[in-house]
Structure 1
Amino acid sequence: MRNQDNKPVAAVLFDLDGTLLDTAPDLGAALNHVCHLHQRPAVPAERFTPYASHGSRGLLNLVFADDIAASQEQLLPQLRQQFLSYYHDNIATHTRPYDGIAELLAALQEADIKVAIVTNKPIALTHRLLPHYPEFAHIEVVVGGDTLPVAKPSPEPLLHAAEQLGVHAHSCLYVGDAERDIQAGVNAGMATVLAAYGYISDEDQPQRWGADYTIETPQQLLRILSVADALTQSL
């Protein structure tokens, strides 16, 4: 694959939740723990899964939005602490890489294409989670939501990752499943790939996000990367 300057793509940057890892079951368990503490009904997986990329606040709003608003946000820190404490202690109980991720990362490594992770998950939780999955062991550049003063949709975390990898932003692809991922990638000058297999809710309108490519499975990224002539014209 080559960019508009006809230079080979040097790196692929990935979002984490909903792109590399299916973290929704453990995030949903944390939400339901908070529901239990506050005598609220448990939230079924089909309801919380599409919002798993929205972080603790997005998930808590599924149940507690009115309470948070009524308290003028004063309730939110307590809810977040309860959520994050449970999640910290149960972070990899049910979380699994998406089918094909291990093979995708191995193929990128074989092709000498660098890889980084850029997520809005707090970096401490990210570093706690990743060692559970040996397929990520070779990924040295990881940027979390609090690594910099700003997080996605700001392009700065992506640009920081590219700098750490020693590559130009225009030689990178960014892959993610949320609108903020595509916005960040576009603003960083990177080609963008929407992971449509991730956490996309019925209210989302991904066709309006402006991603350069859409993949339904991780393996399709390799197909994109291998079609050099078409990509040279379209990137």
Structure 2
Amino acid sequence: MRAVSCILFDLDGTLQDSENLATEANRAGFRSVLEREATEEELNQLKGKPVAKVIGILYPEHGARIFEHAIRYYDANCTAISLYAGVRNMLERLAESGYPLGIVSSKRKAYVLRELEANGLLSFFDCIVGQEDTEEHKPKPAPLLLAAEQMGVPAAECMYIGDQLGDMLAASAAGMASAAALWGEGELELLEQGQPQHVFATPEEVVSHLISANSPHESAG
């Protein structure tokens, strides 16, 4: 495998602790429209996915209204989303070491931009791919391949770090190094089904691995 020269990240559940808010927003949508609680199975079907699209498939009659109520709840709270411990330092260290950084998210780009800006992270990223940028979504490779193209880096030289099985499958399908992030929403037992090439328990492990073994500055020197 070629040396990694570009790092791509998933956003929710990987860099920021937004999954609980997304889940509560979906719960609010179910309560408002269906007048019942969403089941854990229903909520899991929406996790890490383009919610508007998936919920419309699952509930053709009510999906649009459920999403409308969910998005109102999310809108009211999204700028208060917090980062996982160590994430800011990880991004600073990787950027200082010369790695181009990008985001590939299943969330609409407007939300990605707003939330990154609220946490002071927007300037770290050279590329941001959101839900509307590709017709196909993770676990298909299209969003990751678009990010590599926009970054001007061969897919084989990219690493994609995420917390969901779909992230691992998308990275593999794109020919990228896949890395499981376990410090947020990631569950090892589930992620192992995607055969990640790397497993990181903390953001500091990402830094240690990439800077000590694979820093662009070190390899150039």
| Fold conserved between structures, TM > 0.5 | yes
Contact 1:24 1:49 survives alignment (8 Å): no
**Runs of 4+ off more than 3 Å:** 38-44, 47-52, 54-61
* Root mean square deviation of aligned Cα: 3.0
Q: Taking structure 1 as the reference length, what is the TM-score of the superposition?
A: 0.78
Identical-residue share of aligned pairs (%) = 27
Counterpart of 2:166 in structure 1 is 180
Matching residue within 28, 36, 47 for 1:40 = 36
Q: Deviations over 1:126-172 (max 9, x none)?
A: 22222101133231310012111221112121111111111111111
| Bigger proportion of residues as helix | 2
Whether 1:97 aligns to 2:97 is no
> Which one-letter code corresponds to 1:53 in the other structure?
G
Q: 1:58 to 1:18 in 2, by over 3 A?
A: farther
Kindly state the Cα deviation for residue 60 of structure 1 after the two structures are TM-superposed.
Answer: 7.1
Q: Deviations over 1:6-56 (max 9, x none)?
A: xx4211000000111110232133134324425435989xx9699743453
Contact 2:165 2:193 survives alignment (8 Å): no
Contact 1:118 1:143 survives alignment (8 Å): yes
Q: Deviations over 1:178-213 (max 9, x none)?
A: 1111111111111110112332469x6322211001
Q: Quote the Cα distance in structure 1 between the aligned partners of 2:200 and 2:121.
A: 21
Q: Taking structure 2 as the reference length, what is the TM-score of the superposition?
A: 0.82
> Which one-letter code corresponds to 1:40 in the other structure?
R
Q: 1:150 to 1:115 in 2, by over 3 A?
A: same
Whether 1:219 aligns to 2:198 is no
Q: Quote the Cα distance in structure 1 between the aligned partners of 2:54 and 2:186.
A: 13
Counterpart of 1:28 in structure 2 is 23
Aligned-partner SS, 1:22: coil
Contact 2:25 2:74 survives alignment (8 Å): yes
Gaps of 5+ in 1: 230-235
Q: 1:133 to 1:54 in 2, by over 3 A?
A: same
Q: 1:151 to 1:131 in 2, by over 3 A?
A: same
Q: How many residues align?
A: 211
Contact 2:160 2:171 survives alignment (8 Å): yes
Q: Quote the Cα distance in structure 2 between the aligned partners of 1:152 and 1:125.
A: 18
> Which one-letter code corresponds to 2:158 in the other structure?
C
Q: Deviations over 1:93-119 (max 9, x none)?
A: 3x1111111000000111000100001
Whether 1:134 aligns to 2:130 is no
Q: 1:109 to 1:92 in 2, by over 3 A?
A: same
Contact 2:94 2:211 survives alignment (8 Å): no
Counterpart of 1:53 in structure 2 is 48
> Which one-letter code corresponds to 2:19 in the other structure?
A
Gaps of 5+ in 2: 215-221
Q: Quote the Cα distance in structure 2 between the aligned partners of 1:205 and 1:79.
A: 28
Counterpart of 1:88 in structure 2 is 75
Contact 2:97 2:211 survives alignment (8 Å): no
